[in-house]
Amino acid sequence: MALYLVTGGAGFIGSSLVRGALARGDRVRVLDSFVTGRRENLDGLAGVDLIEADLCDEKAVRRAVEGVDFIFHEAALPSVPRSVEKPQEAHAANATGTLVLLEAVRGRPLTRLVYASSSSVYGANETLPKVESLVPEPESPYAVSKLTAEHYCLVYHRLHGLPTVALRYFNVFGPRQDPSSPYSGVVSRFMDAIRTGSPPKIYGNGEQSRDFTYIDNVVQVNFLACEKPAAVGRVYNVGCGSRTTVRELWGSLSRLAGSSLDPVYGPPRVGDVLHSLADIGRAKEDLGFVSEVDLEEGLERTLAHYGLLASGA
């Protein structure tokens, strides 16, 4: 029975990984400061060892990594706009916190550390689809901090033999994503608009596109990254390999939910990337990753979770 540490384990993705590990019969420890994580995400999960602390708390982090076999490093401040306003805060949480974690596990018998990076590291690079070999051109302090942490993980592999893997997530969505949070993604905000009957807000003209990725695909690839020897020391895109505009996303959601709301348009957000699309060929080849849940099914599952799926949809 393995012991998994999930940093940021009370967050949307982190709590899904906690559930995944428990479903496999393994033990789980969570390190979370609850700045963005929610305690209700861990409700009903028996046997989770919870350490409430900041990732920059060296003493708490060393206690958290004691005896662990695998680490899912999900802890972060995931907000582009906030990082523009408070760049030092983003750097401390995302880059410095990762360095503290890596130092805590250096020299320990760890099987794998899987780091949650971000597609935002590609930034201004307009090449589509995004392949891992592209030169990153981050457009926000958030993206810079995630790329910095990614480099730290790979350098610790090369210098110290630490078995690290970096996964660049592309717009993950699904149940338990907090729509009231300023860090929430567009899918959860659209879901909340449907639930409350309020017109959804679209930044820009709605033609910006994303590779929306259902949470179960992300959980799947994280465990594959723990198991496959070829993964160590490498970076992988995690997406569906398909692109949808924000306007099209709202059209699909409103159709599935039977909503007649019209969106309200506002100015583009500073630091946002216009288009994003994952090339997942490397993950397929090395990890055997296949994105099992496409966008339509993922939206149906998420709407159903919240009781918003229209009858017959």
Residues of the chain with pLDDT > 70, as a percent, come to 98
- Strands 27-32 vs 3-7: parallel, antiparallel or unpaired: parallel
- With CA atoms as reference, report the closest residue to 225 among 165, 272, 292, 281: 165
Residue 274's pLDDT is 87
Do both 184 and 116 map to the same domain?
no
pLDDT tens readout for residues 58-104: 999 999 999 999 999 999 998 888 899 999 999 999 999 999 999 99
Do both 230 and 101 map to the same domain?
yes
**Domain boundaries, position 147:** 3-172+213-238
Do both 46 and 189 map to the same domain?
no
* Contacts (Cβ under 8 Å, ≥6 apart) of 229: none
Q: Is 142 a catalytic residue?
A: yes
pLDDT tens readout for residues 241-262: 999 999 999 999 999 999 999 9
Residue 167's pLDDT is 98
pLDDT tens readout for residues 183-192: 568 999 999 9
| Element holding 246 (H helix, E strand) | helix 246-257
Among 115, 142, 183, 214, the one annotated catalytic: 142
In a domain, 286, yes or no: no
| Positions of the chain with pLDDT lower than 70, given as ranges | 180-184, 312-313
CATH number at 74 reads 3.40.50.720
Do both 133 and 251 map to the same domain?
no
Residue 149's pLDDT is 98
Do both 91 and 185 map to the same domain?
no
Which of 238, 254, 282 lies at the terminal end of a domain, its last residue?
Answer: 238
Residue with tokens 């630490």: 162
In the chain, at which residue ranges do the beta strands (DSSP E only) sit? Answer: 3-7, 27-32, 49-52, 70-73, 112-118, 164-169, 172-173, 201-203, 209-210, 213-214, 235-238, 244-245, 264-266
